[in-house]
Amino acid sequence: MLWSKLFIPTLREPPAEAEVVSHKLLLRAGYIRQVASGVYSHLFLSQRALLKISKIVREEMDAIGAQEMLLPALNPAELWQESGRWDVMGDDMFRLKDRWERDLCLAMTHEEVMTSIARGELRSYKQLPQIWYQIQTKFRDEMRPKSGLMRVRQFIMKDSYSFDLAPEGLDISYQKHYDAYCKIFSRCGLSYLAVQAHSGAMGGNESTEFMVASAAGEDFVAVCPECGYAANLEKAVSTAKPAALPDPEGNLVPEEFHTPGYKTIAEISGFTKLPETSQIKSLVMVVDGKPVLVLVRGDHQLSATKFSSVMQAREIRPAQPAEIREWFGAEAGSLGPIGVTNMTVIADSALEGRRNMIAGANKDDYHLRNVTPGRDFQTRFADLRQSEAGDTCRNCGKGILELKKTIEVGHIFKLGYKYSESMGLRVLNAAGEEVTPIMGCYGIGIERILSAAIEEHNDKDGMALPVSIAPFTVVVTPVNIADAAQKQAAQEIYDSCLALGLDALLDDRDERPGVKFKDADLIGIPYRITVGKKLTDGLVELVQRRGKTSSDVPVAEAALAVKKAASA
């Protein structure tokens, strides 16, 4: 293609609204333009990159025997009511009414439609297993669209769904996806991490997220450098750093003391001159309408995800100050477990075995010392604490966990029977009995791959995309388009590139060479062949975008040299 004929609206200055690198570069390099918050138009370059990513995804999905379909974005409410998710999805779901006042939504994912197809058509175990997929547009009314294409309200997802007769079959379908995802992310040039994850709104019990380490990410992953254990922070389990007991020997009884104006863990710690590990932090949560008192060690944070799973809750929120006053007769800074009988009390496992701790007295401006869980109050213990950097890995018992900020590019789930059961998918087994197939679901964000690749591969001049997903592989740049010899040589090299099947671009613009080089660097074309003064010696310059290495090659060999380098 000829650059002079293309629409590539590059910008000189970084756009003010963008914070993360990929967002800045996507705008500056003329890949995307915003239409509304979290809604973007993909211009020519972005679309080319996304098509390349989709092609890789398609090839790897086809290779595991997955069958491509295309389902509608517009879904009737009834399907989502059957699975129970019409309510669960809340404000994240775009909802609308048709002219007959019937409720519809724009699908956020497609378990419902896929299961409805399966239940209408699959009759026998002989038809299983099935893997169905699509590359299709999803809609999610995200609370905070951000970071360019990373978190948007309309995006392209590859989603697939597996139907198997038995759990062993699901294990195979899941593993096939796991392996396919590894190939997809490697081919897209991403350094990824496969991590244990929480299953969230999808239901089911086992899931893996595919993460790319990046400062622009929104997720945290706990990683053990010793054994390779890696889990989303929401799910990670670990052993807390040891902490001395406030009074290790004494078998003391709780004793009230005045804490005027001291409310937070840090304030009480300063006042008592005891570390935060000596305190019991009391949090009041409202779980499906009922209050629950949650206890964690003073220096620890409650993991909302773990708490929600332990409680098997649909909806969780922190209690309001007025509710706390009504239930405890005290304000949030003076709460504790002793004497609490009107609600469930649940404590994090790190409090098990601790003695002589400090907790609120359920009386404004008073605390208790010498509080011992299990003796002074009864509670159930569970792992509710968010892991931290410096914790000990529970997988190997040796490693010290590190935290990494990451971008989630893909997620695979073992769904179990949630949708097949609730939506009535049944087949006959070999004995002629009706059985419920078991399902899995698997997602990849196509734009997320592009964003993550830009985050991973960029420098001060722009994107340094891998050949596999760059919109063009090579640009042929005559330094002076008015020079007939240069122009002709460039044209010939460009033709040879095309003949070799390279995705080539000819920069035939009448611009200064600096402008052309800058643009090519910005949009991230992996190779550039510069046709300049050395042409008189029969040489052109081959420049590699990554690392900016360059070498002189004979004109006749230039295209082949790119071909070799690009496929290395």
Provide DSSP, 89-118: TGGGSEEEE-TT--EEEE-S--HHHHHHHH
Site for ligand ATP in 31-90 (CB under 6 A): none
Helix (H, G, I), strand (E, B) or coil at 567: coil
Site for ligand ATP in 100-119 (CB under 6 A): 109
Helix (H, G, I), strand (E, B) or coil at 394: coil
Nearest-CA neighbor of 406 among 239, 230, 237, 546?
A: 230
At its nearest, how many Å lie between ligand ATP and the CB of residue 195?
Answer: 12
Alpha carbons 332 and 284: distance in angstroms, whole number: 8
Nearest-CA neighbor of 52 among 184, 155, 176, 143?
A: 184
Draw the binding track, 186-225, toward ligand ATP (x: CB under 6 A; -: no contact). Answer: ----------------------------------------
* 471: preceding bond cis by omega (within 30 degrees): no
Site for ligand ATP in 138-157 (CB under 6 A): 140, 142, 151-152, 155, 157
Alpha carbons 437 and 119: distance in angstroms, whole number: 10
Interaction between residue 185 and ligand ATP (CB under 6 A): no
Site stretch for ligand ATP (CB under 6 A), options 261-269, 296-304, 405-413, 484-492: 405-413
Q: Which of 164, 447, 456, 521 binds ligand ATP (CB under 6 A)?
A: 447
Q: Which residue is nearest to ligand ATP (CB)?
A: 445
At its nearest, how many Å lie between ligand ATP and the CB of residue 303?
Answer: 15
Interaction between residue 409 and ligand ATP (CB under 6 A): yes
Interaction between residue 24 and ligand ATP (CB under 6 A): no
Helix (H, G, I), strand (E, B) or coil at 166: coil
Site stretch for ligand ATP (CB under 6 A), options 52-60, 73-81, 371-379, 406-414: 406-414
Question: 230-242 in b/e burial notation, b at 16+ Cβ within 10 A?
Answer: bbbbbbbbbebee
Helix (H) / strand (E) element for 51: namely helix 44-63
User: Are 161 and 439 spatial neighbours (Cβ–Cβ below 8 Å)?
Assistant: yes
Report the 10 Å Cβ neighbour count for 100.
5
At its nearest, how many Å lie between ligand ATP and the CB of residue 199?
Answer: 10
Site stretch for ligand ATP (CB under 6 A), options 241-249, 439-447, 485-493, 536-544: 439-447
Q: What is the DSSP letter of 123?
A: -
At its nearest, how many Å lie between ligand ATP and the CB of residue 53?
Answer: 11
Site stretch for ligand ATP (CB under 6 A), options 2-10, 320-328, 407-415, 505-513: 407-415
Helix (H) / strand (E) element for 369: namely strand 366-371
Q: Which of 148, 443, 462, 471 binds ligand ATP (CB under 6 A)?
A: 443
Interaction between residue 408 and ligand ATP (CB under 6 A): yes
112 or 408, CB closer to ligand ATP? 408
Kindly state the number of chain residues that form the binding site for ligand ATP, as judged by CB under 6 A. 16
Q: Which of 177, 281, 306, 411 binds ligand ATP (CB under 6 A)?
A: 411
At its nearest, how many Å lie between ligand ATP and the CB of residue 511?
Answer: 35
At its nearest, how many Å lie between ligand ATP and the CB of residue 330?
Answer: 37
Alpha carbons 520 and 270: distance in angstroms, whole number: 58
Q: What is the DSSP letter of 15?
A: P
328 or 413, CB closer to ligand ATP? 413
At its nearest, how many Å lie between ligand ATP and the CB of residue 221?
Answer: 12
User: Are 235 and 197 spatial neighbours (Cβ–Cβ below 8 Å)?
Assistant: yes
Alpha carbons 68 and 508: distance in angstroms, whole number: 40
Please provide the distance, in angstroms rounded to a whole number, between the alpha carbons at the two ends of the chain. 24
Interaction site with ligand ATP (CB under 6 A): 109, 140, 142, 151-152, 155, 157, 408-411, 443-445, 447-448
